[in-house]
Chains A and B, each alone.
Chain A
Amino acid sequence: MEVFLQQLINGITLGSIYGLIAIGYTMVFGIIGMVNFAHGDVFMVSAFIALIAFLILTSWLGITSIALALFIVLIVAMLFTSLVNWVIERLAYRPLRGSFRLAPLISAIGMSIFLSNFVQVAQGPRNKSTPPMVQGEFVIFTQNDYAVTLSFKQLIIWGVTAVLLACFWYLVAKTRLGRAQRACEQDQKMAALVGVDVDRTISMTFVIAAALAAVAGTMYLMYYGVVSFSDGFVPGVKAFTAAVLGGIGSLPGAVIGGLLIGLIETMWSAYFSIDYKDVAAFSVLAITLIFLPQGLFGRPDVEKV
């Protein structure tokens, strides 16, 4: 019971990070129908930007308040990562819009290889570890000498994720941009006819996706305290799994899928084998797609002749 509760807390934390990345996949897939393979690497780049911003703030500018530093790091990482993803969309995907389906996929795979190797060349191949940014924890209860704890950083991740998801939900559901996005998702040509700037909307989708990935990247850095150039692939694939599990194109689906994947992974590690935790996540993906191809909250895909 104690172990279960502790893993539940860990799983929700991990799931929040996956959920934030998964939204990026699901939004981009929803609007232009491509699997943005580079998204995991955008997440990794954002973690590096956060690391550099954190070092500048603490060691150069001498900011001692961790809360203020984290807040600024979050904003900086979101801004720069958005710029990165905006440029990627502009250079690598926009020229291929309306072209045949595999072209953007290959372009995205190329971009993913490019990004991880760029970071490797620019920042070096070694793991970058920071001293713990946030320390301390609540002990929820102790039973049989096993303390179930909720650390402050987990609490921060929950809080930041919740606040950002609320902002994001407001953006998509209530604003002009969100309406334009949903319109483009349904029918780009029709949306263009009624005056929606489709190119701009798609660009903004990439910007929002990157901003959420940057939040995930900052949280990841804070939680694990270490990042390397190859850290984009596995979280990327798992977040994509989450998006598919939740039903690709569905925003609440992405979040719930992320939480489920995070829980499956931590529970599997605790009760079965930590070596095969990735197999568990990938098997869930395969099983979902085979028996429930539209995911938990997705619309069924109707084929017309």
Chain B
Amino acid sequence: MAAEGQRVDIARALRDAGVTALIAFGLFLPLIGFQTVTDIRNDLILTTRWPLLFAITAIVGAGRLAYSFGFEPWLNQRALRPVQAAPSAWRSFVGKWFVPFAIGFVIVYPVIVIALNGFGGSVKWIDNFGIQILIYVMLGWGLNIVVGLAGLLDLGYVAFYAVGAYSYALLAKTFGFSFWILLPMAGTLASFWGILLGFPVLRLRGDYLAIVTLAFGEIIRIVIINWVDLTGGYAGISGIPRPTFFGIPFNANEDGFAAVFGLEFSPLYRTVFLYYLILALALLTAFVTVRLRRLPVGRAWEALREDEIACRSLGINTTNTKLTAFAMGAMFAGFAGSFFAARQGFISPESFTFLESATILSIVVLGGMGSQIGVAIAAIVMIGGTEIMRELDFLKQIFGPTFDPTQYRMLLFGFAMVLIMIWRPRGLIATRAPSVFLKERKSISVDLVKEGHG
């Protein structure tokens, strides 16, 4: 594959491969070469896995060799390629029609799934893929307001998601309010917490802000765990009322959804309803964000991200600007949280760990901060990718029946985060559409957009 005029130095490639294999051997020797096992007497003993260790070493060495022969020449050649000034016709076509097509697709998605799989097999595809991904799209868009627009790095976003979920669960169980009353209430409560937690950290910037928000997220989780009287601690809250179709419950009773509309009962109706509900909520988030960017407050957010000092000297109240960003982001997390509680019917602190915050933040950054399409694509890739790992049963035929692909979900998730960052440090979508423009609307390179420092 080496290009003409570029010869691959075979000796160097072999040496590199050897060194890499040697390093890999050392790297994996303790943790792959040996395994700690608890034996029958409950003592810890060691077993060895030399074949696996040598296989991994060989794969790494071969991979390095393939890199020298295939990938590196290709990269070098690509670097020499002239930069195209104007995007190709295909690209601008895709750019123009992508959003309407994508929205159309997600609207008809349940219909397509049901047409392909029938009623029985569809719940999994709509619930695990559709709803799960859309929750993260919505959370990503919510956090995008804080991180992408206002440039405030928030690592404790899941706290507001938890506030929304617990608000819905507790109020619905205690007072019997309906989902539609509690949805705005959960959002309001979450945004109140956003302001409350945002207030003390106004002076902090960058990584410090990230760490304090992380601490707040953890504090809220620990309080939820330990305040057993209110929240049930680790056991969580179960039997949370499920949302109804404007008062008609989704059950097999006579006043249930299926009976009222003269249909045969199927759990699928609730799933489809929940799918459209989260779709509507996610699109609301996107729509509100798009509109807010044109209002003074949205412009102030982006100005804050670009330069806080200039902002202040132009008379923008940075305190209010930051607090509104926190409150807005928290509100959408609250909506998503109450939807989550209503969908699951059960919540526990397990669902609100730091890993969730990290996942949401990584979706925002991997997609390209500030780009809503990018965030949606990143959510599909990361969440859909890890969900699809559950479906790879055919791998058992290759690696033997003890092979469990679901074990490797988070392993590959972490690995993918590193790889995407190295491949595209500024996220998957490399252009932004500024909300303010002179004469004609055009997209700009992401390198011109600052990442904020507060």
Contacts and interface: CB of A to CB of B under 8 A. Distances in A.
Given A51-B36, A279-B223, A113 B46 contact: no
B407 A289 contact: no
Interface in A41-57: 45, 48-49, 51-53, 55-56
A103 to B, nearest CB: 4
A193 interface: no
B27 A113 contact: no
Given A104-B421, A237-B218, 5 more contacts: A103-B426, A113-B413, A130-B44, A276-B226, A282-B216
A100 interface: yes
B327 interface: no
Given A123-B35, A233-B354, A289-B208, A102 B218 contact: no
A275 interface: yes
Shortest 3 CB-CB contacts between residues of A and residues of B: A110-B417, A114-B414, A113-B414
A111 B200 contact: no
Contacts of B207: 29, 34-35, 105
A117 B31 CA distance: 12
Interface stretch (B164-172, B174-182, B259-267, B355-363): B355-363
A106 B355 contact: no
A35 B35 contact: no
Contacts of A275: 222, 225-226
Contacts of B416: 110
A83 B23 contact: yes
Nearest to A284: B215
A286 B200 contact: yes
A112 B414 contact: yes
Nearest to A273: B226
A128 B31 CA distance: 13
A278 interface: yes
Nearest to A304: B309
Interface residues of A, number: 68
B414 A111 contact: yes
Interface string B340-380: 00000000000000110010011001100100000000000
Given A114-B414, A286-B216, A99 B425 contact: yes
Contacts of A104: 421
Contacts of B26: 80, 83
Per DSSP, chain B at the interface is helix
B278 interface: no
Nearest to B409: A117
Contacts of A283: 215, 219
Contacts of B10: none
Contact of A109 (B36, B38, B225, B417): B417
Given A240-B211, A276-B226, A290-B201, A103 B421 contact: yes
B410 A113 contact: yes
B408 interface: yes
Interface of B: 23, 26-27, 29-32, 34-38, 43-46, 153, 200-201, 203-204, 206-208, 210-212, 214-216, 218-219, 222-223, 225-226, 309, 354-355, 358, 361-362, 365-366, 369, 407-408, 410-411, 413-418, 421-422, 425-426, 451, 453
A121 B355 contact: no
A80 B34 contact: no
A160 B235 CA distance: 41
A271 interface: no
B214 A237 contact: yes
Contacts of B203: 290, 293
B27 A279 contact: no
A80 B212 contact: no
A107 B365 CA distance: 10
Contacts of B215: 237, 241, 282-283, 285-286
23 contacts: A34-B207, A35-B207, A55-B44, A59-B46, A83-B23, A87-B23, A92-B422, A99-B425, A101-B451, A103-B365, A105-B210, A106-B361, A107-B421, A113-B410, A117-B410, A117-B411, A117-B414, A129-B44, A233-B354, A237-B218, A279-B223, A290-B204, A305-B309
Contacts of A87: 23, 27
A101 B207 CA distance: 9
A102 B451 contact: yes
A102 B153 contact: yes
Contacts of B417: 106-107, 109-110, 113-114
Contacts of B43: 131
A95 interface: yes
Interface of A: 29, 34-35, 45, 48-49, 51-53, 55-56, 59-60, 80, 83-84, 87, 91-92, 95-96, 99-107, 109-115, 117-124, 126, 128-131, 233, 237, 240-241, 244, 275-276, 278-279, 282-283, 285-286, 289-290, 293, 303, 305
A80 B421 contact: no
A59 B34 CA distance: 13
Contacts of A293: 203-204, 208
A126 B443 CA distance: 51
Contacts of B218: 237, 278, 282
A278 B222 contact: yes
Contacts of B27: 83-84, 87
A118 B366 contact: no
Nearest to B366: A106
Contacts of A115: 414
B30 A96 contact: no
Contact of A106 (B45, B362, B407): B362
Nearest to B453: A101
A56 B418 contact: no
A48 B414 CA distance: 20
B208 A244 contact: yes
A114 B207 CA distance: 22
Contact of B34 (A52, A113, A278): A52
B36 A123 contact: yes
A101 B416 CA distance: 19
A264 to B, nearest CB: 14
Contacts of B44: 51, 55, 128-130
Given A55-B36, A103-B425, A279-B223, A285 B211 contact: yes
A90 B210 CA distance: 25
B46 A126 contact: no
A135 to B, nearest CB: 17
Contact of B36 (A84, A111, A124, A279): A124
